[in-house]
Amino acid sequence: MLVSLFRLCLIGLMCTVGLAGLQAQTVIYAGKLIDGVSDSVREQVTLVIQDGKISRVDQGYTSFKKADRVINLRDYTVLPGLIDLHTHLDGELHEKAYQERFSMNPADVALRSTVYAKGTLQAGFTTVRDLGDTDNVTISLRNAIAKGWVEGPRIFTAAKSLATTGGHADPSNGVNAELQGDPGPKEGVVNSPADARKAVRQRYKDGADLIKITATGGVLSLAKSGQNPQFTMEELEAIVAAANDYGFHVAAHAHGTEGIKRAVKAGVRTIEHGTYLDEEAMNLMKAKGTWLVPTLMAGETVLEMGKKEGALPPVVAKKAVVVGQYMLDNFNRAVKAGVPIAFGTDCGVSPHGRNAREFVLMVNNGMKPMQAIKAATSVAAEVLQQEDLGVLAEGKIADVVAVKGDPLADIGILQKVAFVMKEGVVYREDSK
């Protein structure tokens, strides 16, 4: 009899705990809702959040007696957590940035990166793709955020970028001969198809999520050209083939036209910057389904700094003024041509936490507001192959942000995010 009573009590306790778990939910009342997929805006919507996911999306304000928490955003526009496909959380450009690699230890860089990560999350960006760091800092940062040690966005990182000798991501550029050494695949320097395969495999060993290559010269490297092609087709094809073997996609920094075309033909998923896209390159990207990640903020930032005496090294400033302006001018052509476009800022060149400035530049240069929002939600999620992100719908991860006002009427209000939830946890609530 006592055993039977014990069993009944145990079963009752388990049922009670189970029901309590089912009842553990957060309710959000959204005045307006942009779901990341539809072109229409819904009004008076209830989101029910449970176990880090959206369990229900109801039309109207549904009443819940036992909700753990009710969040009133009836005066706000609610959107999916924003996604930035091009960040560098390990640093930030300023007048003394070039000196830091000689004065800062990896631990210094890592600790500072937590500040940049928190600022990015507070700005409403719940997911980022980090495209190139030093000392694998963003691998450790990604893991620390996932474990709850520090606050920040969900990170998909390329870790150290791949370059050729003297190329845009060669870590020995601008260093005196005594310190240069001869960096190879482990350090991200590739000079043959064999090197390319080894470099990709090293990133897999390090724990990266994807591969980043510098297919052309760049603005901020201490090298003469900002646009020359820097990989052979054989090297590019070896990188993409090895990346495919290891479940990686490839993002290609590319300013110059020839380098863009080679990278697209080789099968990269995204072209970063795409400054000198011509008609042939645009048609090639459309045919291949390759996304352009325009990073207009980077163009704006380097243009301004390039005009300021002493803000950048002379060899960099000269490139910055030309390339920066062209990045802004050429984006409109890509929009009109129908090139697939996804959202990315290159923050780290521009200040972290100001990522939403990119929306303003995109809209000012020819993109419709809803198109820009989708580029940072469902489209960016598609690039990442993360179908649970970038959309507010039943069963999706509960990444939710809100702004007061209508971003379709004034895209600039996305720079004033008032509410941030990542995976069901609230990190910002100005309206409380």
Residue 3 lies in a domain: no
Matching residue, tokens 């720079």:
415
In the numeric block, the tokens 């980043």 are attached to 212
Three-state secondary structure call for residue 151: coil
Quickly list DSSP for 328-353. HHHHHHHHHHT--B-----BTTBPTT
Residue 52, domain CATH: 2.30.40.10
> Is residue 238 domain-shared with residue 342, that is, in the same domain?
yes
Q: How far is Cα 296 from Cα 294, in angstroms, rounded to an integer?
A: 6
List pLDDT tens digits, range 268-309. 999 999 999 999 999 999 999 999 999 999 888 877 777 777
The reply to whether 346 belongs to the active site is: yes
Residue type for position 291: W
Of these ranges, 14-23, 76-85, 214-223, 325-334, the one predicted with the greatest mean pLDDT is 76-85
CATH number at residue 103: 3.20.20.140
Average pLDDT taken over every residue of the chain = 89
The answer to whether residues 372 and 341 touch, using CB atoms and an 8 Å cutoff, is no
Active-site residue identified among 130, 346, 374, 422: 346
- Do 165 and 227 lie in one domain? The reply is yes
- Lookup result for tokens 């400054």: 275
**Per-residue pLDDT tens digits for 344-377:** 999 999 899 999 999 999 999 999 999 999 999 9
| 305 and 406 housed in the same domain | no
Q: Which of 118, 160, 212, 396 is catalytic?
A: 212
Do 63 and 158 fall within a single domain?
no
104 pLDDT higher than 90 = no
The pLDDT tens digits for 38-62 are 999 999 999 999 999 999 999 999 9
As for how many domains the chain has, the answer is: 2
The reply to whether 332 and 401 lie within a common domain is no
Name the token pair of 333.
Answer: 């052509």
Kindly state the average pLDDT of the residues 118-145.
96
User: What's the predicted TM-score (pTM) here?
Assistant: 0.91
Secondary structure of residue 415 in the 3-state scheme = helix
Look at residue 102 in the predicted model and tell me its pLDDT: 67
Both 262 and 147 in one domain: the answer is yes
Q: Could you tell me the residue range of the domain that residue 117 belongs to?
A: 82-384
Backbone φ and ψ for 84, nearest 5 degrees, come out as -110, 115
DSSP line for 38-65 = -SS-EEEEEEEEETTEEEEEEES----S
Tokens of 198: 């080894």
Residue 154 pLDDT > 90 = yes
Give residues with Cβ within 8 angstroms of 382, minimum separation 6: 342, 390
- 123 and 55 within one domain: no
Q: Are residues 218 and 253 in the same domain?
A: yes
pLDDT exceeds 50 at position 11 = no
- What tokens appear for 368 in the block? 């419709």
Question: Which pLDDT score, from 0 to 100, does residue 254 have?
Answer: 94
pLDDT given at position 294? 95
Tell me: do 258 and 268 sit in the same domain: yes
pLDDT of residue 318: 74
